[in-house]
Amino acid sequence: INHTLEGTGKVTVQNNIFEGNVYQAIVTERDDTDIIGNYMETSLDYAGYGIIVMDWGLRLQQRIQIVCNTITGDPNGFAVGILLGDSGYLQRVRYVNIENNTITANKVGIRVRGNRQTAIYTTINYNSIFDNDANGVENTRDRELDIERNWWGDISGPSGDGPGSGDRVSGLVDYEPMLMKPVDVSLCPSACPPGDLDFDCDVDFFDFAILAEDWLEGT
């Protein structure tokens, strides 16, 4: 999704299946991107990326939702399941919500890098992050990253810079409190019926109103 895509509304990538020799499943350079309810499984061996949020022009990028996705591999997953920011630590990536995802069997589950502002406006909560080979979460910035209320594959919590024996975490991270069991994703949008536009798992007048408004706006 290129940054030059014009408009003030959201771009939504939802309920898709990416399988096979997937090197990059979803890449966005744009603000206001919702990535919801997708299944990503690569047959490559610790190569590529499930989701990339990064502007190659190093422009500010913000308001990104990564919710209810599965990012995995057969047998080994991506080199990085979710990647935020650039390797030179110059880009600002703000207001990113990573929630209710299942991230497993990758080399690294989530890597957060980029400008110092990236971590302070990023929340990684209520995810199941387990059985990733190197690290479940890596924070390369010098600002603390909110990774509270995740399942790390063990009730003791994350290992590495954490106290337990679950997936490793590295860098400045706030991992407490921790979940004692995997996240229940049964109410994720992908489990709701077609036509449910407000994600309440019921197709009703409110969904029609959303559809009508989008039609009137030409979207």
* Per-residue pLDDT, 185: 79
* Per-residue pLDDT, 216: 84
* Per-residue pLDDT, 193: 58
Q: Is the dihedral of CA 182, 184, 189, 193 positive or negative?
A: positive
The three-state (H, E, C) secondary structure of 87-146, written as one string: CCCCCCEEEEEEECCEEECCCEEEEECCCCHHHHCEEEECCEEECCCCEEEEECCCCCEE
* Per-residue pLDDT, 98: 96
**Which residue numbers in the chain have pLDDT < 50?**
191
Output phi, psi for 50, to 5 deg.
-75, -55
Size of the chain, expressed as the number of residues it contains: 219
Residue-wise pLDDT for 146-167, tens only, equals: 999 999 999 999 999 999 999 9
CA nearest neighbour of 196 among 210, 186, 184? 210
* Per-residue pLDDT, 37: 92
What predicted TM-score, i.e. pTM, was given to this entire model? 0.85
